[in-house]
Amino acid sequence: MESVRELASEKAAVIFTKSSCCICHSVKSLFYELGASPAIHELDRYANGRDMEWALRQLGCNPALPAVFIGGKYVGSSKDIISYHVDGSLKQMLKDAKAIWF
């Protein structure tokens, strides 16, 4: 679980995904459209990916993927991120964490 915590705080924005997940792809695309360059960790490409997914669940990520961290804090999964984007708070979270500058 420590490695997941470390990875979650390695950049201002971090997204844990699976390469075959279309919802994960949509969340990643949204961050790129907003000008962020998040660290992306595709768990199906890690030998211990299942353990990492379990660790995310232990941290309260439900569903486990996509799991989005901004400023080292878990902010939610896809439905949360879309809600934050619609109400305008996602961009402010990214600014506050210095993931974007504008």
In a domain, 61, yes or no: yes
The number of distinct structural domains making up the chain is 1
Per-residue pLDDT of 34-70, as tens digits, reads 999 999 999 999 999 999 999 999 988 988 899 999 9
Structure confidence at residue 1 (pLDDT): 62
CATH number at residue 16: 3.40.30.10
In a domain, 102, yes or no: no
The letter for the amino acid at 9 is S
Residue 55: beta bridge partners?
none
In a domain, 19, yes or no: yes
Of residues 67 and 3, the one with the higher pLDDT is: 67
* Domain housing 23: 4-97
In a domain, 78, yes or no: yes
Q: For a pLDDT cut of 90, what percent of the chain falls above it?
A: 89
* pLDDT of 16 higher than 90: yes
Q: Which two tokens stand for residue 33?
A: 């459209």
In a domain, 65, yes or no: yes
DSSP string, the chain: -HHHHHHHTSSSEEEEE-TT-HHHHHHHHHHHHTT---EEEEGGGSTTHHHHHHHHHHTT-SS-SSEEEETTEEEESHHHHHHHHHHTHHHHHHHHTTS---
In a domain, 92, yes or no: yes
